[in-house]
Structure 1
Amino acid sequence: MYNVFLVEDEKNLNDILVFYLENEGYKVKSFVCGLDAEKYVQQEPHLWILDIMLPDMDGYELINRIKKQNQDTPVIFISARDEELDRVIGLQMGSDDYIAKPFLPMELIIRTRNLLTRIYKNKKNSKVTNLLINDTYTIDFNKRMVFKGDEKIDVTSKEFDFLSIIINNKNNALSREDIINKIYGEDYFGSDRTIDDLVRRVRKKLPEMRIETIYGYGYRWCEGED
């Protein structure tokens, strides 16, 4: 059973979402303010669902606390503000999905189901535990962590998803659309520039890992090639 923590200050909406999530079979703990939710960060649920606009602590501040506790904990952001701006900021801070108000409760359920399946199914099905890349970086697929020697490199959940995809498709060209579908799901309607930003961040954090740009198409990883 998946543990889901929901933070939504609109009490009526909070109650409705709890009902739908529990009906899906999840164990749900809900909060109407960020300070109360912050006290439970160390419990590390399988998923946080966060409203960005909260009366005492906004979702941006709360996701910082969550990711500091465990970088790999997935987060879905909810917002009624500027959708494109919040989407970009949320992704940069490590959110795994975004849903704008107003929305149907079943849309959140579908996104939640897809995200949990994608993340935790990948963990269970990982055949390779550790992989050394370019004699430099160690990729731990079970823990979803990246190391350079003994030093841990902080990567977001989406950045790790991207690394997993290109590693598992070594030497193969992947289109931006392919990458988006694998990371965000086929129901994603955002710009493919999201992938360009994701690649930029990965390149900055792992400069010795060659990720080749295929202009007008997408990306490819070629280990050990000049």
Structure 2
Amino acid sequence: MTQTIPYLVYLVDDETNLLELLRSYLVRAGLEVKTFQSGEEVLAVLEIDQAKPHLWILDIMLPDIDGYELLRLIRNKSSEVPIMFISARDQDIDKIIGLELGSDDYLAKPFLPRELVIRAQRLLNRTYDKPATSSPGIPVSTDNYQDWISVSGYYISEKGRLVKEDEQIIDLTTKEFDLLLYFMQNQGQALQREQILTAVWGDDYIGSDRAVDDLVKRIRKKLPNFPIETVYGFGYRMTK
């Protein structure tokens, strides 16, 4: 479905100059942007705002509430909306914690504003450039799709990017569904962690391959019967 209105981005950072610079780049790229400079401002909008954004860009280091806590609160509101972390602390542990908690991307400061725009557009396209998508949080009719595949009691639609069990939709993040699909496309093959990183995060991802383990852990929690087995010292495999 073609997007007829600008994607809405919520941008959170306490550095005023950087916030305005990033906002200007995102706006020039055709995005609508709402900015926040503190965790308290974000909490306020989470309480009252009914118009959910299409993307959160969230700084970890805020003066009052850290980005990890905000991520938890955002994920409690919606498991679908993509979240990108930005941080001056270029440490693997920050990336791993963020990915484990449900972020979809991580960008370490300093970075070029254009890189942020490219990553934001990539996340938006992967999340919403698909059939019959509506704004985040609006139910999608599962009757629209004819490509349902049954796997261990779950029904999975690639076109709709949906997973259901007993007619109940199971909420997956963008990365969780991407990995699920990658397993299905390579059923029976032992996949190295590095292969999975490239397929799900892209060639430009820099960070620990523990992000793969954390993502698999989240899928196993949400889909306990999905047939993923660990290939020790190597990676993972979806059994036939």
Specify the alignment match of 1:189 in structure 2: 206
Native 8 Å contact 1:49 1:76 kept in 2:
yes
Aligned twin of 2:96:
88
Cα 1:119/1:128, change in 2 over 3 Å? farther
- Runs of 5+ unmatched residues, structure 2: 1-5, 134-143
Q: TM-score, normalised by structure 1?
A: 0.84
The separation in 1 between residues aligned to 2:172 and 2:212, in whole angstroms, is: 15
C-alpha displacement of 1:123? 5.6
CA deviation digits over 1:37-68, x for unaligned, max 9? Answer: 23334422110000112223221222122111
1:143–1:11: structure 2 CA closer, same or farther, 3 Å change rule? Answer: farther
Counting matched residue pairs gives 222
SS at match of 2:129: helix
Residue 103 of structure 2 corresponds to residue 70 of structure 1 = no
1:220 aligns with 2:210: no
- The 8 Å contact of residues 92 and 208 in structure 2, kept in 1 or not, is answered as no
Structure 1 residue 28: Cα displacement: 0.9
Equivalent residue in structure 2 for 1:35, among 33, 40, 57: 40
How far apart are residue 105 of structure 1 and its match?
Answer: 1.0
Determine helix, strand or coil for the equivalent of 1:138: strand
SS of residue in 2 equivalent to 1:48: strand
Query: How much has 1:212 moved relative to structure 2?
Result: 2.9
Question: Match for residue 3 of structure 1?
Answer: 8
Q: Where does residue 23 of structure 2 map in the other structure? A: 18
Residue 165 to residue 122, structure 1, CA distance change in 2 (3 Å)? farther
Out of 78, 103, 115, the position equivalent to 2:111 is: 103
| In 2, Cα distance between equivalents of 1:34 and 1:130 | 41
Kindly tell me: are residues 193 and 77 of structure 1, through their superposed partners in 2, closer, same or farther at Cα, counting changes over 3 Å? Answer: same
Deviation at 1:173, TM superposition (A): 3.9
Looking at structure 1, the residues matched to 109 and 7 of structure 2 have their Cα atoms a distance apart, in angstroms, of 24
SS at match of 2:212: helix
Q: Percent identity?
A: 49
- Judged with a 3 Å threshold, the aligned counterparts in structure 2 of structure 1 residues 141 and 45 are, in CA distance, closer, same or farther, namely farther
1:157 matched to which residue of 2?
A: 174
Structure 1 position 11, deviation (Å): 0.5
Conservation of the 8 A alpha-carbon contact between 1:139 and 1:145: yes
TM-score when normalising by structure 2? 0.80
Residues in 2 aligned to 1:214 and 1:124: alpha-carbon distance in whole angstroms: 37
Secondary structure of the residue that 1:119 maps to in structure 2? helix
Aligned to 2:67: 59
